[in-house]
Structure 1
Amino acid sequence: MKPEVKALWTAALRSGEYQQGRMVMHSPDGKFCCLGVLCDVYAEETGLTWGKVTNQGSGDQGLEFLGDVNYPPPAVRAWAGLTSSDPRLLVPGDHVTRQISELNDGLEPRLPLPFAEIADLIEAQL
């Protein structure tokens, strides 16, 4: 991951400006998942905006960003220097890596992780 983008993303996650949501990058009620925060940082840098509300197969609704609702589109991944739309990170104490979306949305007792903890993992591992 590009260091300058990592710094912008982790700062945004820690800023307190984003309310954490689940299942979509940006929900109609203004909440974001951690991947949506990355897209929003890209939007601020490029002047792009979020698109229309789209229903997901699960019934969840999300705003589109460059045609995607659940994961950063290729343009965002290229800008950030990510090779995956859903990078894997290791949570201390776990024995397997988890997709970042699972850390944000997870249903296990330890999950979801708050944005600040996700930012710490991004900083250390990406």
Structure 2
Amino acid sequence: MNATIDMSFRDDGTRKNGPSSTISLDLRTAVDEVNRTKGVPKCVKKVLTSLVEQLSSLSLALDRVSSERDCLALENQNLRDRLRKFEAEGNQSSPKKLTERHSSQPHESNDYNENERLRSVVISGIPEHNGF
């Protein structure tokens, strides 16, 4: 009984060229022959049939996961290319200076209450303290 499943991969994560990950016709034929043979116990036939079904299911899952991995690798490469392009454009443009309005300097108001209001932190559900 021989399954043609090649689960070998290259260092970069891509699958090596090899036989298809589908179960070989020889294996299915052999299991069918065993199932038709009268001298083989039913439990052995059940086990072999179950193993072939599981192997087939795993083979399909491997194909699906491999396909998804290939799509994700392509998407990852595209995103890396876009990121490199974005970083290259960012390095070429000159940094913009902050205007005084956006600087960390306090507001130029002489009103003490206004300055206190601007630097206060409001926490939801806690009443404000009205004075010192």
**TM tier, smaller:** under 0.3
Higher RCO (CA-CA < 8 Å; seq separation 6+): 1
Radius of gyration: which is bigger? 2
Q: Name whichever structure is richer in strand by fraction.
A: 1
- The TM-score with structure 1 as length reference comes to 0.19
Q: TM-score w.r.t. structure 2 length?
A: 0.19
